[in-house]
Amino acid sequence: MTQIWIVRHGEAAASWEKDPDPGLSDLGQSQAEETATALMDIVPTGAQLISSPLRRAQETAAAFASKLGGGVRVDLRFSEVRSPVPLSGRKAWLQEFMCQDWSEQSDDLWAWRQDIVSGLQEVTRPTVVFCHFLVINAVIAEIENKPEVLQVYPANASFHELKLEGGELSLIRLGQQMETRIN
């Protein structure tokens, strides 16, 4: 059995429609530090750290890497959902996407989901993956075999524990959820 933690990045410094790749806000930096401290108590020495290439995820990962004394490998598969619209229309598209089922999605979005799952199934030792709200939702939809795109509401800098056994992912524990829903 291999343990995996998937971590949502801390609060971003800008919203979806304002910046395609914002870093963390001051609050997001604090959240990343708090999560790093909590992870130190549960993640074994020698765990590998993987991050989405987006700044907010990398900055969240850096907080833990500095405490752990290791590096972070960037993996494109854990990027935010592939949006088929320009930045100005991204918020509206995301709101619609999150109200849909996976059966309504394009081949490109299914490929994005499968890339995430494949990336997790390839790990061979304890791993922490720093990623995004919809990445976590795609993983939970896959594990639970549920049709809805939106499965959970992971809070910023929350971490969720999975296990990989015999090539199959399963959910051990969901982390903190948002108190309010996304608009």
Instruction: Report residue 89 as tokens.
Output: 């229309």
**Helical residues (DSSP H) of 81-180, grouped into ranges:** 90-97, 107-121, 133-144
The region of weakest confidence among 9-18, 43-52, 97-106, 131-140 is: 9-18
The region of weakest confidence among 6-10, 25-29, 46-50, 87-91 is: 87-91
Query: Who contacts 82 (Cβ-Cβ below 8 Å, separation ≥6)?
Result: 108, 109, 112
Task: Count CB neighbours of 92 within 10 A.
Answer: 12
Coil, helix or strand for 160? strand
Is 167:121 a contact under the CB 8 Å cutoff?
yes
> What does the DSSP assignment read for 54-94?
SHHHHHHHHHHHHHHT---EE-GGGSPP--SS-GGGHHHHH
Is 157:6 a contact under the CB 8 Å cutoff?
no
d(CA 62, CA 67): 9
Task: Count CB neighbours of 14 within 10 A.
Answer: 13
Coil, helix or strand for 44? coil
Q: What secondary structure letter does DSSP report for 8?
A: E
Give pLDDT tens digits for 22-70.
999 999 999 999 999 999 999 999 999 999 999 999 999 999 999 998 8
Higher pLDDT, 17 or 103: 103
The rounded Cα 103 to chain-centroid distance in angstroms is: 22
Exposed (0-12), middle (13-18) or buried (19+): which is 24, by Cβ within 10 Å? buried
CA angle in degrees (0–180, nearest 5) for 158-159-165: 160
